[in-house]
Chain A
Amino acid sequence: MNAIIVENLHKKFKVFYDKGQTFKEKLLFRNRNYYENRWVLQGISFDVLKGEAVGLIGENGSGKSTMLKLLTRIIYPEQGKIVMNGRVSSLIELGAGFHPDMSGRENIYTNASIFGLSRKEIDARIAEVIEFSELGEFIDTPVRTYSSGMYMRLAFSVAINVDADILLIDEILAVGDASFQAKCFNKLREIKRKGTTVVIVSHALGQIEQFCDRAIWIDHGVIVAQGTPREVIPQYLNFMGKKYDKTPEPAKSNDGELRVGNRDIEIVEVRMLNDGKESYNFMAGSRVEIEISYKVNKISEGSIFGIGIFRNDGVHCYGTNTFIDAISTDELAKQGKVRFVVEQFNLLPSEYTLDVAIHTEDGFFFDAIDKVKKFSVYSNIGDIGVTRLDHLWHFESDK
């Protein structure tokens, strides 16, 4: 059974050059009311099965958030239709209608009533909401005394306990601390298990991969691809990667700060290859090569090639060089390429930067470039941490 049917949806927004709001302005400056029609959605159709979790992905301005607003019924399409079967709840605007002077408990009633719950239904859920919010005795103090974390926890608890048939989510889980986020995520899984249909708009592709059964990639108001996240996300990342590669890389601007060394041996180009093709988005566990093209300007002894990989939060994930690995570079050609090959690139999903350097044993730099490349890793396995450890699970009985 379909929970959501979307058929040939078109949506435009009027973009006014100079909009008159008042009667006088409308009357006097009629010619100012020129506007441009911007078609944000141009024929979107999809169905969502009952109990399915669907992720909408796409760049900023692709139309995915507009799509979600249409599903929420805040705005209406110019053409096409939407059928939603069941009660809809949204985790879009948390804490709607919260009154700062009223207590947390009173606000639960107000807020839940906006989702269309009757008093009886709220009474039945209130204990669960309070428990989930972890507010304890604070529940009877005015909401204005809450910290922003407490506020969001309360709001999220209400929205998640509505028991909707369809749940719409925009950029989940920016709520509270890490442990509360984990709790929210678990709650979402539980809700999904119970058969709730979920539609998520998110830039966190990892979450979509972990949570959704299907991903729909929207670009410029049309669906580019849809299928399992495993199929769609690499296509999307590839597309984004190509766009990203067009933007100038820090290494190409010789601004000295990122690059040091006397250039006796010079780094000409750095590329990353994934399964033989240049790419900066790869699946964890795939084959990755770092290719350093160099040129010897002045013959020098004892050159060492090194690489370093940093995660976007600054964690130094890995670093090594030809000296540590006891690779001889005595017979270095005048010009050539050095390849650092990783058969199984096991860093986990995140964004990383790559440093490369050519230096002597005692740390004198011929050429060193920080953050020469940025790259990101995605995965369809939910393991967490910095790197994936090659592992097996064994079960043995003691008898």
Chain B
Amino acid sequence: MISKFKEIYLYREMIASLVRKDLRGRYKGSVLGFFWTFLNPLMQLLVYSLVFSIIVRVEVEKYYLFLFVALIPWIFFSSALTSGSGVILNQKDMVKKIYFPREVLPIAHALTNFINMLFSFIVVFIVILISGVGINFIALLYLPLIMLIEFTLVLGITFLTSSITVYMRDLEHIMTILNMLWMYLTPILYSITMIPEVYLPYIQLNPMTAVIVAYRDILYYAQVPHIQTLLSAVIMAVVVLVVGYLVFTKIQRYFAEEL
């Protein structure tokens, strides 16, 4: 186990170069290029806030901000479900022919999307400033922590989806549906207080619930998140990562033969 971590550390340059290649290659050839990193979430924000503050009319003050601080972390999470499930499959040729610790691929994928989220946060802060909600700097200290927790969760899910997809190609498509379902089962478009009490325990079993609540506490309500919220976020993220990693290491031995 320890030697595995050492090995992954040895391959850090490979992770870095995969991330670099992905970030640079993603918008290659498009006119707006890297600007899409900002434009994409802004467009989503526009659509959702139009629907939910003008048509559906959710009774939330400054709904666009309420939504935006949750939407950006969600986009990061959903990358683990959608594109994350294909990371091993897409690198088929490499996996079949040369050795490197396979963990490198999901790690690089999670990192790429994490960095993308960081870039999006520039826009988040601009929107916060414009909204006039203000920033609580003590609460802000918790932001890196919750980001780290979410990263742990995303990595764990990516380990799971990417490895299982090798054996069950349908998972990639199933994930698109699951992604949509999961989004509506997470308090992103609505507040956790709107959920009927009977369903609350189930919603809280969703590891993303605590994460989103914490983000929203810090950035929208400008308050320090509850210790309970943080604790349940940490525990669930670590459990998911451990399970994901164990599944991954168990079945990665036969990747080359399955691909």
| Residues of A participating in the B interface, judged by any CB pair closer than 8 Å | 13-14, 21-24, 26, 69, 72-76, 88, 90, 92-93, 96-97, 99, 101-102, 109-110, 112-119, 122
Contacts of A99 on B, CB cut-off 8 Å? 21, 25
> Is A74 a contact partner of B256 (Cβ separation < 8 A)?
yes
Please measure, in the bound complex, the distance between the C-alpha atom of A12 and the C-alpha atom of B242, giving whole angstroms: 30
Which residues does chain B contribute within 8 Å of A69, judged by CB atoms? 256
Q: A113, B97: Cβ atoms under 8 Å?
A: no
Within the complex, what minimum Cβ distance (angstroms) separates B172 from chain A? 10
New A-B pairs, 14, CB < 8 Å, besides A99-B25, A110-B17, A116-B14 = A22-B170, A23-B168, A23-B169, A23-B174, A24-B170, A74-B95, A75-B256, A92-B97, A93-B97, A93-B98, A99-B21, A113-B14, A116-B13, A118-B10
A74 lies within 8 A of B99 (CB) = yes
**Distance in angstroms between the alpha carbons of A92 and B256 in the assembled complex:** 15
- CB proximity of A311 to chain B, nearest CB, Å: 35
* Residue in B17, B100, B171, B254 whose beta carbon sits within 8 Å of that of A76 in the complex: B254
Interface assignment of B28: CB less than 8 Å from any CB of chain A: yes
Q: Do the beta carbons of B257 and A75 come within 8 Å of each other?
A: yes
Q: Pick from B13, B17, B98, B171: contact of A92, CB below 8 A.
A: B98
Decide if A122 touches B13 in the complex (CB within 8 Å).
yes
Q: Are A116 and B97 in contact (CB under 8 A)?
A: no
Residues of chain B with a CB closer than 8 A to A101's CB = 25, 28
User: Contact: A23 with B94, CB < 8 Å?
Assistant: no
CB-based contact A13/B100 at 8 Å: no
Q: Is the beta-carbon distance between A117 and B99 smaller than 8 angstroms?
A: no
Point out which of B97, B171, B174 has the most chain A C-beta atoms below 10 A from its C-beta.
B97
Interface residues in chain B, defined as those with a beta carbon under 8 Å from any beta carbon in chain A: 7, 10-14, 16-17, 21, 25, 28, 93-100, 168-171, 174, 253-254, 256-257
Q: Which of A13, A22, A23, A90 contacts B99 (CB 8 A)?
A: A90
Contact B12 A118 (CB under 8 A): yes
Contact call B97/A114, Cβ cutoff below 8 A: no
Chain B residues in 8 Å Cβ range of A97: 94
Give CA–CA (A307, B10) in the complex, Å.
Answer: 63
Residue from B11, B25, B257 within 8 A of A113 (CB atoms)? B11
Q: Of A72, A74, A75, A109, which is within 8 A of B17 by CB?
A: A109
Instruction: Please measure, in the bound complex, the distance between the C-alpha atom of A76 and the C-alpha atom of B258, giving whole angstroms.
Output: 12
Q: Which residues in A have their C-beta under 8 angstroms from that of B10?
A: 116, 118
- How far, in whole Å, are A184 and B259 apart by their CA atoms in the complex? 32
Q: Is the CB of A96 within 8 A of B97?
A: yes
A114 in complex: contacting residue of B12, B14, B171, B257, CB < 8 Å: B14
Chain B residues within 8 Å of A96, by CB: 93-94, 97-98
Which A residues are in CB contact (< 8 Å) with B93?
Answer: 96
Q: What's the Cα separation between A119 and B256 when bound, in Å?
A: 28
B94 lies within 8 A of A74 (CB): no
Contact residues in B for A112 (Cβ distance below 8 Å):
13
Say yes or no: A116-B28 contact (C-beta < 8 A), given A22-B170, A23-B168, A110-B17: no
Asked if A113 and B16 make an inter-chain contact with CB atoms under 8 angstroms apart, the answer reads: yes
A-B contact pairs, 20 of them (CB 8 A): A22-B168, A23-B171, A24-B170, A72-B99, A73-B99, A74-B99, A75-B254, A76-B253, A76-B254, A88-B99, A90-B98, A90-B99, A96-B93, A96-B97, A97-B94, A109-B13, A113-B17, A116-B13, A116-B14, A119-B16
A115 CB contacts on chain B under 8 angstroms? 100
With A101-B28, A119-B13 given, is the CB distance from A110 to B21 under 8 Å?
Answer: yes
Q: Is the CB of A21 within 8 A of B169?
A: yes
In the assembled complex, the Cα of A92 lies from the Cα of B97 at a distance in Å of: 7
Q: How far is the CA of A102 from the CA of B13 in the complex (A)?
A: 17
Among B16, B28, B97, point to the contact of A74 (Cβ < 8 A). Answer: B97
Cα–Cα, bound, A96→B254 (Å): 20
With A22-B170, A23-B168 known to touch, is A117 a contact of B13 (CB < 8 Å)?
yes
Least CB distance, B113 to chain A, in whole angstroms: 20
A249 to B10, CA, bound (A): 56
In angstroms, Cα B65 to Cα A342, docked, is 95
With most chain B CB atoms within 10 A of its CB, the pick from A26, A73, A102, A116 is: A116
Distance of A116 Cα from B12 Cα, bound (Å): 8
Q: Are B170 and A114 in contact (CB under 8 A)?
A: no
Q: Name the distance in Å between A212's Cβ and chain B's nearest Cβ.
A: 22
B155 to A: closest C-beta gap in Å: 20
> Can you name the residue of chain B whose Cβ is closest to the Cβ of A168?
B99
Q: How far is the CB of A306 from chain B (nearest CB, A)?
A: 51
Q: Which residues of A contact B99 (CB under 8 A)?
A: 72-74, 88, 90
Bound: A69/B253 CA distance, A: 13
* Closest residue on chain A to residue B101 by CB atoms: A116
A118 touches B21 (CB 8 A): no
B residues less than 8 Å from A22 (CB atoms): 168-170
Residues in A neighbouring B94, C-beta threshold 8 A = 93, 96-97, 114
Do B98 and A114 have beta carbons less than 8 Å apart? yes
Q: Given A76-B254, A96-B94, A96-B98: A118 and B170 within 8 A (CB)? A: no
- Which residues in A have their C-beta under 8 angstroms from that of B168? 22-23, 26
Name the 4 nearest CB pairs between A and B, nearest first: A93-B97, A23-B170, A113-B13, A113-B14
Q: Which residues of A contact B254 (CB under 8 A)?
A: 75-76
Residue of A nearest to B252 (CB): A76
For A26, the chain B residues whose CB sits under 8 A away are: 168
A268–B99 Cα distance when bound, in Å, is: 57
A122 CA / B13 CA spacing, docked (Å): 10
> Residue among B11, B28, B174, B254 with the most chain A CB within 10 A?
B11
Minimum CB–CB distance from B151 to chain A (whole Å) comes to 22
Nearest chain B CB to A95 CB, angstrom units: 10
* Contacting residues, chain B, for A110 (C-beta < 8 A): 17, 21
